[in-house]
Amino acid sequence: MKITRIETFLVPPRWLFVRVEADDGTFGWGEASLEGHAEAVLGAFEPVRDRFIGSDPRRIEDIWQIAYRGGFYRGGPVMMSALSGLDQALWDLKGRHYGLSAWEMLGGRVRDKVRAYAWIGGDRPEHIADAAKARREQGFSAVKMNATAELDYLASPRALEEVSERVRAAQAAGMDVGLDFHGRVHRAMAKQLAKALEPLGLLFIEEPVLSENPEVLSEISHLVATPIALGERLYSRWDFKPFLASGAVDILQPDLSHAGGLSECRRIAAMAEAFDVAVAPHCPLGPLALGACLQLAGCTPNVVLQEMSIGIHYNQGGHDLLSFCANPDVLTPVDGFLPIPTGPGLGIEIDEDKVRAAQAEPHRWRNPIWRQVDGSFAEW
């Protein structure tokens, strides 16, 4: 069995799909989306094709090791996103070949469903309340929201109270709430905000500071009992290793389209389990990324939550999570949970005709840029 084709597709709103095909006609899909940098990932697939067309697609671990270690330079968002999409597609292909779900090949199912949450936005408490109610109607019992626009090194105490008001509005709508600081908050304000929010009983606070400031993260972890989550901007088990060793993080959030795919994120989760740390994969992406996450949840004991994007957040130009999915029921929350797919591979059926048609207008999505009131750059 040999790989004959490795194709990539830029599909709206901002996704990069991967399709791997073998000489017997078996195929698999994956997702290598790297928001705002899709063209760089496309370039990273050139050496992938040179190395692996002609390889046995069933030798997933061997391919992973060569893709990661074989080019001397390793890691980082671009190369790891390419490897992630390839890895997902190989698990999907192998599962289709043998008629098995990826979770079955990775040791068998530990759960039937996983709790899901979705993002909400709004500047005012009433907007947050409306968005939270809409998510409840979609089948969610938990949401995540941004804490704030970027807070400068010092900000008004009123800004902290506004965050609390928005959280209380979502909770009043019957939702459990995770709060994403998004690395927008500097040390002094991050400590104050984390402390002010502690009485509200949040599911977690995410990226209270950027991961390049691990000493501040450790300081905040000693200030509050609220679970601290981090990891969407880390790309391998080696990136996660110091955060586990420091004890500063309670929930790891690897992105299966950035952090080495299903193979590497399964290893990251196993590392986390040894430190009594939970996993809640980052996934504001498309159906294949979410399908890979659900395969991880199916076979991994310490996965506790699954992020998903749907409808009122990422729907751009008519393209939402389900636009290219031919079996949308497997990605529809019920009573706050997503079922673990039971189909072969990733369990996601892609409408290939739609994907190929989308190539007529490939996306050129870029991250928005914001500025502070004084004109200086503000973190996304």
Q: Is 182 a catalytic site residue?
A: yes
The CATH code that applies to domain 3-100 is: 3.30.390.10
Find the Cα–Cα–Cα–Cα dihedral 184, 188, 189, 194, rounded to 10°.
100
Q: Is 282 a catalytic site residue?
A: yes
Given a cut of 50, is residue 136 above it in pLDDT? yes
Catalytic hit among 97, 182, 186, 258: 182
Catalytic hit among 97, 186, 258, 282: 282
Instruction: Please count the other Cβ atoms lying within 10 Å of the Cβ belonging to residue 284.
Output: 20
> For 45-95, how does the pLDDT look when each residue is reduced to its tens digit (9 = 90+)?
999 999 999 999 999 999 999 999 998 999 999 999 999 999 999 999 999
Section 118-128 average pLDDT: 92
CB–CB of 282/253 below 8 Å? yes
> What count of Cα atoms within 13 Å lies in the side-chain half-sphere of residue 241?
5
Highest-scoring range by mean pLDDT, 109-113, 151-155, 179-183: 109-113
Predicted confidence at residue 311, as pLDDT, reads: 59
Residue 365 three-state SS:
coil
Per-domain residue ranges of the chain: 3-100, 104-345
> For 294-305, how does the pLDDT look when each residue is reduced to its tens digit (9 = 90+)?
999 999 999 999
d(CA 167, CA 175): 10
Q: Across all residues in the chain, what is the average pLDDT?
A: 93
The pLDDT confidence band at residue 242, using thresholds 50, 70 and 90, is very high
> For 212-236, how does the pLDDT look when each residue is reduced to its tens digit (9 = 90+)?
999 999 999 999 999 999 999 999 9
**Any idea which architecture 104-345 has in CATH?**
Alpha-Beta Barrel (3.20)
Weakest mean pLDDT among 81-85, 249-253, 327-331: 327-331
Given a cut of 60, is residue 319 above it in pLDDT? no
> For 280-298, how does the pLDDT look when each residue is reduced to its tens digit (9 = 90+)?
999 999 999 999 999 999 9
Extended strands (E) in the chain: 3-11, 15-22, 27-31, 113-120, 142-146, 176-180, 204-206, 228-230, 251-252, 278-279, 306-308, 337-339, 370-371, 377-378
